[in-house]
Amino acid sequence: MPYLKNYDVLIIGSGGAGLSLALKLADNTSSVAVLSKFALTSSSTYYAQGGISAVFDADDSIESHIEDTLDAGAGLCDPEIVRITVAQGKSSIEWLRDQGVIFTEEQSRSGESQLHLNREGGHSHRRVVHSADATGKAVSLSLIERAKEHSKIELLENHSVVELITIPSDGGVSKQVVGAYVLDSTANKVKTIAARIVVLATGGANMAYIYSTNPHSSTGDGIALAWRAGCRVSNMEFMQFHPTCLYHPEARTFLISEALRGEGGRLILPDGSSFMQNFDSRGELAPRDIVARAIDHEMKKRGIECVYLDISHKSKRFIREHFPTIYQQCLEYDIDITEQPIPVVPAAHYTCGGVLTDSYARTDIKNLYAVGEVACTGLHGANRMASNSLLECLVFADRASEDILQKLPDIHSYFEIKDWDESKVSDSDEEVVVSHNWNELRHFMWDYVGIVRTDKRLSRAMNRVQLLKKEITEYYGNFRVTSDLLELRNLVIVAELIVRCAQQRKESRGLHYTLDYPEIDSSKSPQNTVLTP
């Protein structure tokens, strides 16, 4: 086995969840590997602007944070998971500060320094801890630096997982994971990696849509890997569309943070009139699904390409100090946000569903865990509340580490694994198929499975998914794997899961809105959508 490597724990993904988990495990294990599909900074965490929700304000409370989260989740949050997560908010922030993350502070009335707290949509108090408007970058760079310093952590960039390796467990009744086949894109070789524990921390699947705020790596890899291995998947119909992505031909994925609205930014039409008060009494501070649908409605009703977000009534100093990243980025596109409104459109932003896990991030497969956006923990329900996502990464990385460290001493060292066999495939001579299918998939998902859905649109999407899936499967069976091909193969599976879940939900709830069933079905208790392979 020329490419076999062995680790105690293999973590797939280098975002906040994966790196936090690696750091929490490293002192008590012999070896931890963290795989990154591209550069270590290619994760969604790195690009997160807003912050991390946690209760620090004396006027705020754990109960209030819980209540806000449950309200945003539209009846599908797991109350116990919400309580566990929210209760660890403060300790999670303190742990990040211990790792070197510097958060924005302000002077209290008594003259002492304290954390500056933003308020975002759905929150009844200021409770979003942040590092200016580039919180994710601050978190990501600090965790990467700490991981690089640790002798027990190996960071492997440009490594994509082809498939999880499982064996029968419990007399053949179930499965356990024992490693993964991994494409080293630099060497253009598939490696065989054995691991006693495997953790999926691959992020979401928002590149299933043509407009997304996510980096190009968010192709649902972990969800597809887990599904093919035999894990249940839940609530994939709840794809969150961020209301405000910069509308510019050269900046399709640049997010305009919700914190702008939290600090008084107004959504306006081209004529300067506001409209959010027509949709929700909370106006610009309504939950994201409401704001995104309101913008989508106005754009379609008026035939306009975008709406505008205006913060220019605030002082120039305030804007530059609170939103330096957004200010500089917009300037590059000749938009001075201190003097003019920002053109914005909704874009796919967060995957609320994912691989079904328990309160310790365990999946249906023995020794396989899922943390972060790839997982469906029960925290978000039908709609994620702003800035609860990085908190979830930290809390469940901590809980997974606790469970893993208890298990490791009793897990068989390693199992014999066969090498990856590519003796019957060749290099592709028609890679245009990959790029064409990628574009087709993302376009029809946007058109038919976007912010507003219908049964007919979902049916059309499913027909196209099935055709593409067949074509991609045939292509995959004939040619050597590439990073692009692996992403496309995963993305078409995720698209199918999104459509299947959406077709099962005969109501509008949270992020799933359908014109055929525009109301919540109050005739029965709220139900999570669960798919079994």
Identify the DSSP state of 29: S
Query: For residues 523 and 506, what is the distance between their CA atoms, to the nearest angstrom?
Result: 12
Query: For residues 182 and 22, what is the distance between their CA atoms, to the nearest angstrom?
Result: 19
Q: What is the DSSP string of 386-440?
A: TT-HHHHHHHHHHHHHHHHHHHGGGS-S----PPP--TT-B--S-THHHHHHHHH
Cβ proximity of 341 and 309 under 8 Å: yes
Residue tagged 């593409």 (tokens) = 468
Cβ proximity of 360 and 377 under 8 Å: no
**Tokens coding 218:** 């968010």
What is the three-class DSSP state of 293?
helix
CB atoms within 10 A of CB 363: 24
Cβ proximity of 199 and 21 under 8 Å: yes
Cβ proximity of 14 and 36 under 8 Å: yes
Cβ proximity of 57 and 108 under 8 Å: no
Catalytic residue selected from 127, 288, 442, 457: 288
**Tokens coding 285:** 């501070």
User: In the annotation, is 232 catalytic?
Assistant: no
Q: % helix / strand / coil in the chain, to the nearest 5?
A: 40, 20, 40
Cβ proximity of 376 and 355 under 8 Å: yes
Identify the DSSP state of 85: H
Burial 31-67 (b: 16+ CB within 10 A, else e): bbbbbbbbebbbbbbbbbbbbbbbbbeeebeeebbbe
Identify the DSSP state of 212: B
Show which residues are catalytic. Answer: 288
